[in-house]
Amino acid sequence: MSTLKAVSSKLAAEIDKELMGPSIGFTLQQLMELAGLSVAEAINREFPLKSAGEKKNVFILAGPGNNGGDGLVCARHLKLFGYNPIVYYPKRTEKVEFYKQLVNQLSFFKVPVLGPENNDNWLEYLKADKTVCIVDALFGFSFKPPLREPFATIIKEVCDLQDKVPVVTVDVPSGWDVDDGPVSEPHIIPKILVSLTVPKPCSQFLQKSSVHYVGGRFIAPEFARKYGFEPFEYQSCDQILKL
Amino acid sequence: MSTLKAVSSKLAAEIDKELMGPSIGFTLQQLMELAGLSVAEAINREFPLKSAGEKKNVFILAGPGNNGGDGLVCARHLKLFGYNPIVYYPKRTEKVEFYKQLVNQLSFFKVPVLGPENNDNWLEYLKADKTVCIVDALFGFSFKPPLREPFATIIKEVCDLQDKVPVVTVDVPSGWDVDDGPVSEPHIIPKILVSLTVPKPCSQFLQKSSVHYVGGRFIAPEFARKYGFEPFEYQSCDQILKL
């Protein structure tokens, strides 16, 4: 069997299931903490804060599922790193108590979290001239089209802005097909992609000028090989690796 | 009120309670993941792996409570960083399901975890000439004397070894009084102390040649000030700061 450079959406779901299954026993809270931290680390690597005067806003779009949860964790770490994160979290999944706790944690850090009540004015909070990057944490590898509102509109607005403010995508560009890449126009063109655990097939549709990281440093080498890919050679205690 | 450089055991307990209370809503799993990661980062900073041939064992002593849990998480990250951790976890708290999951995770990474069945031979696994450091993750800030078995014997054995193999202590040197420092002979003399969130008063009894880090980067500046200490100025995305 040859070495794959990416795993399909189906395999990615199996990996997640096994990581959190009875034999390995990772919890969602652990994996999300490390995943969100790795995205924050990639942002810090690409857009280091040099002086107090420069722009330091990061605008985080958090979706209703685990990809959004990664974004909420990322926002908290960015605040600790000295950035000024602003989160837009338009659709909340009430059944997962932990998502509410992630929002509480952001309040503790005085990170603004916009909600559905801001559906008509959220863009006013995204000041392009002060914003280092937009974090696309709307949908991950389990996304299935079609895009529903308010997300279709949100993505369209991001597409209008992405020439001015770089987009950092968590795992899968929102609106893309996980396996087939961009399937509609306009679509998000990430400047930075942080693939979690292992890239998904759509990563091959990244532009050549884009930067691709893998993050979420929490699997054993044998586990990677079992799923048909070589383990990534992270350095030192980095939580990310540039591919 | 003047700025404290350390908080008492009583205040440390209040800080933990508030961090995991309803208003902030951190979970034990999140805080333990970040705390354990920070200890692994300190070890990587002090004892970087340079070549494949050199020694890379780390012997982790994990106690029955949260300090031990930090040690279990630390072991997993050390394995990911390229070290060869070996854990001795002689007394397990069955009522906390999450500790069992942390042990499962170590199995996934093929990290040996010795248990009570090794009480008579655990030292055979600690090969001084191959071991970078011993991690003392036996007891934290809620420890109250007297030391019971098997821990009294374990600590005595560590004291016999600490001239040959440096000890890295998680938060509070085991056997020390959190507020009053070493209270019995022999006692552990850490070469490295990683204080979590904020140093405890006993840290003033460290030897001058010891290295002191603070780790566990998860509080807001206002929260630090509320408890009477200045926030620590962590750099970039470091999870530790040398004091």
Give per-residue pLDDT as tens, B48-90: 997 656 789 999 999 999 999 999 999 999 999 999 999 999 9
Predicted confidence (pLDDT) at residue B114 exceeds the cutoff of 80 = yes
Interface of B with A (CB under 8 A): 23-27, 29-30, 33-34, 37, 40-41, 44, 48, 77, 79-81, 98, 100-102, 104-105, 108-110, 217-218, 220, 222-223, 234, 236-237
The mean-pLDDT minimum among A159-168, A187-196, B74-83, B180-189 falls in: B180-189
Q: Distances from the Cα of A32 to the Cαs of A66, A178, A221, A222, B61, in angstroms?
A: 8, 20, 20, 22, 27
- Residue A4: per-residue pLDDT: 46
Arithmetic mean of pLDDT, A40-54: 87
Sort out which chain B residues have CB atoms less than 8 A from A31's CB and list them.
Answer: none
Question: Which of A24, A34, A78, A108 has the most B C-beta neighbours within 10 Å, making it the best mutation to test the interface with B?
Answer: A108
- Name the CA dihedral angle for A199, A204, A207, A212, rounded to a multiple of 10 degrees: 20
Q: Distances from the Cα of B131 to the Cαs of A96, B30, B59, B126, in angstroms?
A: 43, 29, 7, 7
- Residue B53: per-residue pLDDT: 65
Arithmetic mean of pLDDT, A94-113: 94
- Residue B93: per-residue pLDDT: 85
Sort out which chain B residues have CB atoms less than 8 A from A40's CB and list them.
Answer: 237
ipTM, 2 decimals? Answer: 0.94
Banded model confidence at residue A58, pLDDT cuts 50, 70, 90? very high
Predicted confidence (pLDDT) at residue A2 exceeds the cutoff of 70 = no
All domains in chain A, ordered by first residue: 9-47+58-242 (3.40.50.10260)
Which helix (H) or strand (E) covers residue B189, if one does? none
- Please say whether the beta carbons of B86 and B60 come within 8 A: yes
Sort out which chain A residues have CB atoms less than 8 A from B25's CB and list them.
Answer: 100-102, 104-105, 108
pTM, entire model = 0.95
- Residue B95: per-residue pLDDT: 84
- Please say whether the beta carbons of B183 and B145 come within 8 A: yes
Question: Would you call B29 and A27 a contact, using CB atoms and an 8 Å cutoff?
Answer: yes
Question: Would you call B81 and A25 a contact, using CB atoms and an 8 Å cutoff?
Answer: no
- Closest chain B CA to residue A111: B220
Question: Would you call A30 and B29 a contact, using CB atoms and an 8 Å cutoff?
Answer: yes
Q: Which of B163, B229, B215 is CA-nearest to residue B190?
A: B163
Arithmetic mean of pLDDT, B25-31: 96
Question: Would you call A105 and B40 a contact, using CB atoms and an 8 Å cutoff?
Answer: no
Sort out which chain B residues have CB atoms less than 8 A from A58's CB and list them.
Answer: none
- Closest chain A CA to residue B232: A80
Q: Which residues of B are annotated as a binding site?
A: 66-70, 136, 140-146, 171, 174
- The three-state secondary structure class of B228 is coil
Sort out which chain B residues have CB atoms less than 8 A from A104's CB and list them.
Answer: 23-25
- Residue A138: per-residue pLDDT: 98
Sequence-distant (6+) residues with CB within 8 A of A19 are: A26, A31, A218, A219
Beta bridge partners of B194: B170, B213
User: What whole-number distance in Å separates Cα of residue A65 and Cα of residue B107?
Assistant: 29
- Residue B232: per-residue pLDDT: 94
- Residue B1: per-residue pLDDT: 35
Each residue's pLDDT tens digit, A141-185: 989 888 999 999 999 999 999 999 999 999 999 999 999 999 888
Q: How many residues does chain B have?
A: 243
User: What whole-number distance in Å separates Cα of residue A197 and Cα of residue A162?
Assistant: 26
Arithmetic mean of pLDDT, B222-232: 92
Question: Would you call A77 and B237 a contact, using CB atoms and an 8 Å cutoff?
Answer: yes
- Residue A233: per-residue pLDDT: 94
Residue matched to tokens 């395999």: A11
- Residue B52: per-residue pLDDT: 59
Question: Would you call A108 and B220 a contact, using CB atoms and an 8 Å cutoff?
Answer: yes
Question: Which of B96, B237, B241 has the most A C-beta neighbours within 10 Å, making it the best mutation to test the interface with A?
Answer: B237
Q: B97: buried, middle or exposed (CB in 10 Å: 19+, 13-18, 0-12)?
A: exposed
- Residue pairs spanning A and B at CB distance below 8 A: 81
- The three-state secondary structure class of B28 is helix
Question: Would you call A223 and B108 a contact, using CB atoms and an 8 Å cutoff?
Answer: yes
